Amino acid sequence: MTSPALILIAGALAVALAPARARRVLAVLSPLLALAYVASLPLGASVTHPLLGWTLEVVRVDALSRVFGLIFALVAVLGAVYAWGIADRREQVAAQLYAAGALGVTFAGDVITLYAFWELMALTAAVLVWVRDTAPARRAGLRYVLVHLTGGAVLLVGLVAHVATTGRIAFEHFEPSAAAWLILLGFCLNAAVPPLGAWLPDAYPKASVTGAVLMSALTTKSAVYALLRGFAGWEVLVAAGVFMALYGVVYAVLANDIRELLAYHIISQVGYMVAGCGLGTAMAVNGAVAHAVCHILYKSLLFMGAGVVITTTGRSKLTELGGFVGRQRLVFGLYMIGAFSISGFPLWNGFVSKSMVVAAAGETQRNVVFLLLMLASVGTFLHTGLKLPYFTWMGPDRGIRPTRAPAHMVAAMAMAAGLCTLLGVWPQGLYALLPNPTDYQPYTATHLAETIQLLLFTFFAFYLFIPKLGGEATVSMDTDVVYRKGAAPARRLVVDGVDAAFGWAETVTERLAAEVRAWLRNPGLTFVGRHELGGWDPDAARPPLQGPLSLTLLVFVVLALLALLAA
């Protein structure tokens, strides 16, 4: 038995060495093998290895790790099918390693293994941004690396402090301590908890169209898994999750780029999962896990739809799109399944998962949390389910004539849409995988009635305010403005200033060394100034040897005479 991550790492190596045609097959085959392997792992299985006196648990299979492992491997398969037509070896290898990192984090039973795969995810995800090979992508990828390596450093300090104080390396539930708070901060950065989450809408719209599909599924949900494993029941996560749910919806109002709008809704939807983790009850944890699974499916579907639009039109702004729904009816229809899913429509998977978290808030009498999460769901349908598809495919005809959508992209969308529908009509298949027993019934008269009322209200509000809801060619300022605007003065201070200081020190040292070297070559210059010599010639400044030699010879002669006389 071994870690499922190693299958994808081996796949990445094979892809790196294989010719172009074989790479496509290998890129799909390795995640398929990883999926089959994860499905075969029995509950309770464990793989350990000794390392420097520690015992690493590189594989720990329980209900929580198994369900996340299954969905991560599954989305890696969907992503590989969607990316069938790409020829960039860097992107294919990075995608395999990125998915390997997510699986490694999921099955890690100790914090050393966890941290190694955590950093692998950060580096390979940045490559998926860089491979787009545009100036904005290169800058966004650099910011992504810097932010995540900073978060990784904070996480490492917390993990080291935890191990030093407890003597344990097991990845388990953390009790409140200074080390635990640092670990929580590192996890929250990857979960995109504001104000730490501005990297997400910065990087995802600039990544490659295929890379963004995987990124939308893996980084934040790996962090959700880590929070569920280590911090379930921490009250601070309830407030953080509710704030995320509303924060993402509000910023989606301002977004003009279609993938930026979807990225902000990732923050909003992850907020439900974080809130469920904070509530900590069996129902809330089940809801967070179920919603993570469903979110991965419908959010990857939504990013696939956006990727098809970018691929076939070369445009990504709401203000530049519209009027070609007749040329992409199938793509539009598949996208709408994802939109119905994220909005919580009955018969699709968002309806059976998001409501579990909301119900858990009601079950624990957290009425304010209940109402605010319900309010956030209104904004989700308004922007992802109505605004984005309307102004992307419908709206004013701007004369766009998209090329034909690649068959492999449409096939991947159809697979994701089918899974969204399957879990919506058969939620028991999902509930059976959850970490806690559940008898939750989503299709009750009350739940159906309140959901339909909210959806109808949102639809009519959109219809009335269509002219006011279109995209605007503006740039939204998020918390990343701190390091975006601060980059130039920080560079002047930390890079240019330090470089100038070292340059000055080097110049002074060289001049001093020259003076010392000159003095050592001819100490007589101390008494005979260079200006007196009419220009410096080291030989000219040396004292003549005639006098000392004559004196020495005279002494020898005198001594010789004295010796003869004495004889």
DSSP string, 253-316: HH--BHHHHHHHHHHHHHHHHHHHHHH-SHHHHHHHHHHHHHHHHHHHHHHHHHHHHHHHHS--
- The pLDDT of 506-525, averaged and rounded, is 76
Q: What is the mean pLDDT of residues 132-140?
A: 93
Residue 66 pLDDT grade (very low, low, confident, very high; cuts 50, 70, 90): very high
Query: Measured between alpha carbons, how far is 423 from 419 in angstroms, rounded to an integer?
Result: 6
Percent of the chain with pLDDT strictly greater than 70? 92
The b-or-e profile of 394-419 (16+ CB within 10 A means b, else e) is: ebeeeebebeebbebbbebbbbbbeb
Which pLDDT does position 525 carry in this prediction? 54
d(CA 314, CA 362): 45
Calculate mean pLDDT across residues 514-534.
62
Task: Please give the pLDDT value at position 483.
Answer: 66
DSSP annotation string for 329-340: HHHHHHHHHHHH
* Dihedral sign, Cα of residue 8, residue 11, residue 15, residue 21: negative
Which residues have a Cβ under 8 Å from the Cβ of 567 and sit 6 or more positions away?
Answer: none
**Would you give the end-to-end CA distance of the chain in angstroms?**
104
For residues 376 and 544, give the distance between their C-alpha atoms in angstroms, rounded to a whole number. Answer: 96
Beta bridge partner(s), residue 59: 47
pLDDT 10s digits, 340-389 = 999 999 999 999 998 899 999 998 899 999 999 988 888 888 888 889 99
pLDDT band at 523 (very low <50, low <70, confident <90, very high): low
Q: Hey, what amino acid is at 20?
A: A
When pLDDT is cut at 50, 70 and 90, the band that residue 401 belongs to is very high
pLDDT confidence of residue 2: 86
Side-chain-side CA neighbours of residue 119 (13 Å) = 13
Token representation of residue 536:
């410096």
Do 52 and 115 touch, CB atoms closer than 8 A? no
Q: What is the mean pLDDT of residues 13-27?
A: 91
Q: Give the whole-angstrom CA distance, residue 75 versus residue 128.
A: 16
Structure tokens at 117: 């795969």
pLDDT at 183 over 70: yes
> What six digits make up the tokens of 127?
């490559």
Compute the average pLDDT of residues 28-39: 96
Average pLDDT over residues 470-497: 70
393 against 553, higher pLDDT: 393
**Structure confidence at residue 538 (pLDDT):** 55
Q: How confident is the model at residue 539 (pLDDT cuts 50, 70, 90)?
A: low
CA nearest to 435, candidates 275, 229, 236: 229
Range from 44-48, 239-243, 535-539 carrying the lowest mean pLDDT: 535-539
Total number of residues shown for the chain: 567
Q: In the predicted model, is pLDDT for residue 533 greater than 60?
A: no
Q: Say what the pLDDT of residue 526 is.
A: 54
Rounded Cα distance between 475 and 469, Å, is: 16
Task: Please tell me the predicted confidence (pLDDT) of residue 396.
Answer: 86
Reduced 3-state DSSP string for 32-78: HHHHHHHHHCCCCCEEEEEECCEEEEEEECCHHHHHHHHHHHHHHHH
- Mean pLDDT of the chain, nearest integer: 90
41, 66 Cβ separation under 8 angstroms: yes
Band of the pLDDT at 482, cuts 50, 70, 90?
A: confident
User: By 3-state DSSP, what share of the chain in percent is helix, strand and coil, each rounded to 5?
Assistant: 75, 5, 20
* pLDDT at site 528: 52
- pLDDT higher than threshold 70 for residue 531: no
Which of 66-80, 223-237, 388-402 comes out lowest in average pLDDT? 388-402
Phi then psi for residue 7, to 5 deg, are -65, -40
pTM for this entry: 0.85
